[in-house]
Structure 1
């Protein structure tokens, strides 16, 4: 009973909304969020396991003696992270393959040797961009479960970048498009963000990605300027010895 009362008192003492937090409290909350993302990305901890993580964090921060032998269990942290990462990668690869196989059967879909699945949605006009060109696009990116991780539409601002400065899937896929065209790009991890994903970001390891892209504009890359020719040496004055 005392424990329940204490928990209730602590929960009442903590600000429940960002508007109630001081600037330092918001920064500490951000720290907790970053740590939580790292735990989630590396360990996929269950709610029960999170309680042990909280306990270890609290003990270490307060200077309390660790409840376990750190020389024994400290080295096991990396081992556990690797084991769980392997399980997550296996599941992600299976989900990605299933998603890509289904996409490859859609009308008009073309699968390239790299694994890219290109599905035209609307034909554009004119020339296609070269890898060195700068393109302006609107796009929406989702994971295989439909969760949106990025969208220029949501920002109300098209993206602009050199086509050879993005993931390989985009460099290859957008190069097939013409201005005004729309297409779906299904990108396996090997030509997207690989086994690492975006650590601390929205894309998990080994993720197959789905993009809807609209090509708005192409700016041709400037041709490299020719190097200036060296000046000719001055002719010798034959009258001088």
Structure 2
């Protein structure tokens, strides 16, 4: 049985853990980021919304009453989260924010759209800035913030000390960096040497700089692709 460390925020980590356990793996959860809602002003009705994460969907759309409002979502999983909140006018884009740009440009120019990106306080890719550079009316509204972990629990430390964890999963560059910072704070780079890191993408993998046993990343940045690596 493979023991896997899941480093996602707790809500997402729980769902990933259920999938891994159904595959026959043992799971230890160690969230590296804590997601917190922030107050924000709802964008004007004439602006189409861009959603690039489930957190932005859950925390950014909760007070928006117009369920027919145009929303552009990154990937099917995010779109499903938006639809589950009752929104009906959802256009699904590719699986990364960067890959959505051509679709957003085409719709923005042909339909004269104005865009607001509902996002977290740490922008991995600034969609609004790219769209503005192309002459479109685009801005972003921060709807949540993430706070990095400063340590791991005693239980996780004991599992790492005992060499019980075979694989660590990373779904974002910031999560990857935070985990290595926590390891460095503990002075335990030896923990990394006993584990394989499995990452959502090359961009996530590039943020892992420590002496890992090995690193792998999904060719397609989806959870299905990540879990297929673990399954192998």
TM-score, scaled to structure 1: 0.18
Q: Greater CA radius of gyration, 1 or 2?
A: 1
Quick check: which one's strand share is greater?
2
